[in-house]
Structure 1
Amino acid sequence: MATTYTIAELAREFDITARAIRFYEDQGLLSPKREGQGGRNRVYTPRDRTRLKLTLRGKRLGLTLSEIKSIIDMYESPKDTVAQIDRFLDVLAHQRRTLEQQRADIEMSLAEIAVHEDECKRLLEEAGVQDAPERNAA
């Protein structure tokens, strides 16, 4: 018999909640079979497990769920591999630009914080206040 997984097993394996898995199912990323009385029990296949793994990897890359679904669906219906790879490269390039802009924004914010910190320290020194260790802990 083929290997199957319960929602609890997948949640435990990937350290996410069952609610998150149900959400991904609602978004069309997973499609478990239903078994038991009234179809209450979800039964996940190795295909579902792989799709969940790829979904979580895509989220770590910062992709949207629709981008993740598009990419996963492309690879499950291989027609034109070159077109699929080109599409994936486009998505990755877009995400790289987004992350590089976020990094630049963070670096600018950190530089502004450093200027404010230096100014505060200078004001404290002028006021004759000793630089207390607890003030540097932050």
Structure 2
Amino acid sequence: MKLPDIIGLALRIPGGGPNGGPADLLFASTGTGRFTRYILQFHTSATAGALTTMLPLTGPEGHIVFRLDPEPQNHYRLSFSRNSEPWLALGWVSLESPREPPRRSNLPAGPDDAQLRFRPVAQPPADLAVPTWLRAVRSPAYGIARFVWKS
């Protein structure tokens, strides 16, 4: 029996960031309503319900939140909401296993695959930015996590 937990999914979009670099988005299990999309919810798996970026990015037309809804066979429907308005379809995401398994170490100081390091604050999608208040909150936590992981 799986116990409910907060589910997370990291998504890298090759070429989707500024200057053609990668864009990174972090999703978590949340509600999908106008207010509940900003509140974490417990799920038993990544396919048990919607995942959203929860915290908004800022674009030319206001705040943007992204959403993934599970579909069969490791596919997700991708949508977005601007300024807490209704969700609009954007496309689909298909999760695939890597051709070669990433190098992971169980030791904190062990070798690690640099491609596994997601940088959602530093690498948002093109034409979007992390709000200043959110950058101030998240950046130190990510820096500490990377330092602790390397130690």
Fold equivalence (TM over 0.5): no
Higher alpha-carbon Rg: 1
TM-score of the superposition, structure 1-length normalised?
0.27
TM-score of the superposition, structure 2-length normalised?
0.25
Structure with bigger helix share is 1
Structure with bigger strand share is 2
